[in-house]
Amino acid sequence: MVSSRPQRAFTLIELLVVVSLIALLCSMLLPSLSAARNAAKATQCLANLHACGVAMAGYQSENADRFWPYALVNHPATGVRCYFWGTDADPVDPRPSPFMKHLDANLAHLWCPMLPWGSYIPQGSYVAEPTTTYGYNGRFLDPTLNGRSCRRSAEVRQPADLFVLADTAMAWAPGGVAILQNSTYLEPVNGNWTQLPTNHFRHGERTHALTADGRASAFGTEGWPISSKHRLGFVGTENFPHYEQ
């Protein structure tokens, strides 16, 4: 015999308690989920730089142990300016770059997921796609910035410390309006540098870098204060050993 007794419904108080418990659990889990996402992005960033390290070894094996040029004003194949990430065009063509050839012309290896497209104003007139969010240590590795006298890796005294590519960004205030841009060039601490600090500490208190020995690693500031607004700074207070040797 089926009972005709009505089913007991939730009271308003019980419903509010359940909703409160769910909200409490969500508030406890969200920071953990956010931390997990950031950790995954940091891992992907290091993987990108590791791939650049493999490309570095391939490039140097074919180019007398030299580092690649920051830019070629008149690329022998295209006749136009070509940076280390590709042509000075929109959209970018990475294929003419002598370095990107060793990265399978895959621009995604040069994009750190912690600085996604749309979160900054790109340098130059690029609107179709990102170029790079890793800055090249061109001032030391390609002193002429046109590939005429790139250094050999054998000239680096402490390869485990010298930055080749690193997390970078730069901040400007044109017309008094602060903007964040990607930086394709890694500025030194001392010398004739034209920008604000360009190392971007976007992985918590760490910035990631590919060093001349082919390793991708995280670095702290080593004494330089990080700007609170844009997380920019330097690793150390002198050019040696991370920027020049």
Judging by DSSP bridges, how do beta strands 86-87 and 82-83 pair with one another?
antiparallel
pLDDT value of residue 147:
86
Average pLDDT over residues 209-238: 95
Q: How confident is the model at residue 178 (pLDDT cuts 50, 70, 90)?
A: confident
DSSP type of residue 155 = G
pLDDT of residue 16: 64
Mean pLDDT of 165-188: 92
Work out the pLDDT band at 2, boundaries 50, 70, 90. low
Give CB contacts under 8 A, 24+ apart, made by 74-81. Answer: none
Higher pLDDT, 93 or 19: 93
Q: What is the pLDDT of residues 19-35, one digit of tens each?
A: 666 666 666 655 656 78
The 3-state DSSP class for residue 210 equals strand
- Beta bridge partners of residue 211, listed in sequence order: 163
**Per-residue confidence (pLDDT) for residue 34, from 0 to 100:** 77
Alpha helices in the chain (DSSP H): 12-62, 138-141
Q: How far apart are CA 52 and CA 47, in angstroms?
A: 9
